[in-house]
Amino acid sequence: MKRVAIVVGMVLVALLAYRYLASGPKVRNTRPQGDTIICFGDSLTAGTGAAIGMDYPSQLARMIGRPVINAGLPGDTTAGALARLEQDVLARSPRIVLITIGGNDLTHGVDREVFSRNLQTIITRIQAAGALVVVGGIEVPLRDRGYREGYREVARATGAVLIPNIFQGILGRPDLMSDPIHPNTAGYALMAERFHEAIRPYL
């Protein structure tokens, strides 16, 4: 009987663990407030390498049939994004905010903990305004320095929706890239599709 009880207990623990892991982190602000959809970040948001009007926010706007604000700034870091957050996002009545940031932190050698702390602050301040936040993570082979896990940890801590690697299937493909780090129009179309899929349940 004792052995049976132990086995039953182990099964129950396994089932509870499975349910917890399968459910994933709870998304915050699934019924967002505010009025605008804002894309916030660096050159990946601004659309460096795309034809005019073919950056991912513009392509996303056509997909959903609604205006999308492009608040991308080439060369921006998480520290720079944090400094302009009030003016470029919070003052614009955000409803859904899509973020691509971190690539320049990685390039400039910013410590992962600093990057993660800045990103978490950006997300929580946006969420405090009632907006849903979606983060497009970036994975750079051989140069990651822990950023990959940093995106995941911040998403779990904040309840932001995470696209683990917005570059998946794009980076390194000449037909989808305008240079070694920026997509072309076709590459940005794939990014727009991924963000569209992420926000579809909350539109």
- In tens, the pLDDT along 32-54 reads 999 999 999 999 999 999 999 99
The CATH number that applies at residue 156 is: 3.40.50.1110
pLDDT band at 25 (very low <50, low <70, confident <90, very high): low
Does the pLDDT of residue 161 top 70, yes or no? Answer: yes
Give a yes or no: residue 198 inside a domain: yes
pLDDT score, position 144: 85
Does the pLDDT of residue 78 top 90, yes or no? Answer: yes
> Which residues, 6+ apart, have CB-to-CB distance to 51 below 8 Å?
184, 185
Give a yes or no: residue 4 inside a domain: no
- In tens, the pLDDT along 107-137 reads 999 999 999 999 999 999 999 999 999 999 9
**Average pLDDT value for the chain:** 90
- In tens, the pLDDT along 172-194 reads 999 999 999 999 999 999 999 99
Higher pLDDT, 144 or 118: 118
Number of independent structural domains in the chain = 1
Give a yes or no: residue 174 inside a domain: yes
Strand 69-72 with 161-163, pairing: unpaired
Give a yes or no: residue 5 inside a domain: no
Give a yes or no: residue 58 inside a domain: yes
Give a yes or no: residue 107 inside a domain: yes
